């Protein structure tokens, strides 16, 4: 049994970033053509496009501010014209900010997290789900976080936005299930990406001690789950919140 995404088109938001880049490559390795969204790093996005094209996959890069509805609408139009509408949507982008205790966290950070988590999901759904409904097929994979369950200190803006995102995903899964569209969430733990590898991986002994599998996860661990949920192997899974965190998060029934 293999994950086969041949003939499928995917769009990955934040596709030129650390985690997004690995997801893009993994989907392409499974046979999908992949459109790469970026906000500012055009150089990295274009380089990844060239890499995928060299491997025989169709690819293109598209710029958008995922917190702005008109910008997302323009991206949808561009994707449709230049690449083709996606069967698979990976909602991965998020604004980065400095984590602080709630009493010291800048108020603007709460807005940025809500806009880049909840509103990104709303905008992307409004733009790309109608096509999936027309073809009676779609796979939507959303990046959440273990923080949504753990609710640990210093991440109140991130946690609150991701918990809001969880509500949107669960409602959407029920609304579009009859259209043969699945909507699922991956909840990574503290994940190692290429940026950290280049700068030196933090061994994080205290964090690792809280992980039953006794290690930090990698971008490949997350990307493999994204590929599975994007495939027909997961055709009867929807509305799920799936931790890929080594057992650190175990949602109860």
- pLDDT, tens digit, for every residue of 194-218? 988 999 999 999 999 999 999 999 9
Length of the chain measured in residues: 253
Mean pLDDT of 208-234: 98
214 lies in a domain?
yes
Per the domain annotation, does 245 fall within a domain? Answer: no
pLDDT of the residue at 94: 96
Q: Is residue 73 part of a domain?
A: yes
Distance CA 189, CA 147 (A): 8
CATH at residue 45 = 3.40.50.720
| pLDDT (0 to 100) of residue 1 | 81
Residue 4 included in any domain: no
Averaged confidence pLDDT in the chain = 97
Active site residue 158: yes
One of 38, 123, 131, 158 is an active-site residue; which one?
158
Structural domain contains residue 241: no
207 within domain boundaries: yes
Token pair, residue 110, equals 């709460």
Sign, CA dihedral 43-197-66-226, equals positive
Residue 243 lies in a domain: no
Give the whole-number percent of the chain exceeding pLDDT 70.
100
Q: CB–CB of 186/244 below 8 Å?
A: yes
User: Is residue 120 included in any domain, yes or no?
Assistant: yes
Please give the residue range of the domain that contains residue 51: 9-235
Number of separate domains in the chain: 1
């Amino acid at each position: 049994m293999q994950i086969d995404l041949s003939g499928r088109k995917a769009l990955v938001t934040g596709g030129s970033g650390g985690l997004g880049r690995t997801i893009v490559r993994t989907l392409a390795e499974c046979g999908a053509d992949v459109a790469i969204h970026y906000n500012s790093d055009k150089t990295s996005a274009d380089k990844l496009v060239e890499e995928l094209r060299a491997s025989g996959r169709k690819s293109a890069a598209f710029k958008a501010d995922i917190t702005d509805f008109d910008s997302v609408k323009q991206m949808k139009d561009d994707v449709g014209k230049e690449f083709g509408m996606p069967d698979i949507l990976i909602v991965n982008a998020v604004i980065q900010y400095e984590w602080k205790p709630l009493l010291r966290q800048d108020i603007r950070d709460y807005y940025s997290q809500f806009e880049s988590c909840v509103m990104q999901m709303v905008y992307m759904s409004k733009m790309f789900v109608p096509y999936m409904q027309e073809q009676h097929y779609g796979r939507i994979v959303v990046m959440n976080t273990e923080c949504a369950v753990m609710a640990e200190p210093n991440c109140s803006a991130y946690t609150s936005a991701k918990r809001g995102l969880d509500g949107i995903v669960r409602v959407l899964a029920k609304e579009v299930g009859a259209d043969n569209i699945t909507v699922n969430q991956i909840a990574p733990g503290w994940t190692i990406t290429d940026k950290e590898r280049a700068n030196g991986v933090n061994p994080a002994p205290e964090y690792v001690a809280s992980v039953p599998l006794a290690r930090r996860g990698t971008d490949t661990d997350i990307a493999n789950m994204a590929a599975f949920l994007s495939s027909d192997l997961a055709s009867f899974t929807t509305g799920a919140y799936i931790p890929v965190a080594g057992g650190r998060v175990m949602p109860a029934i």
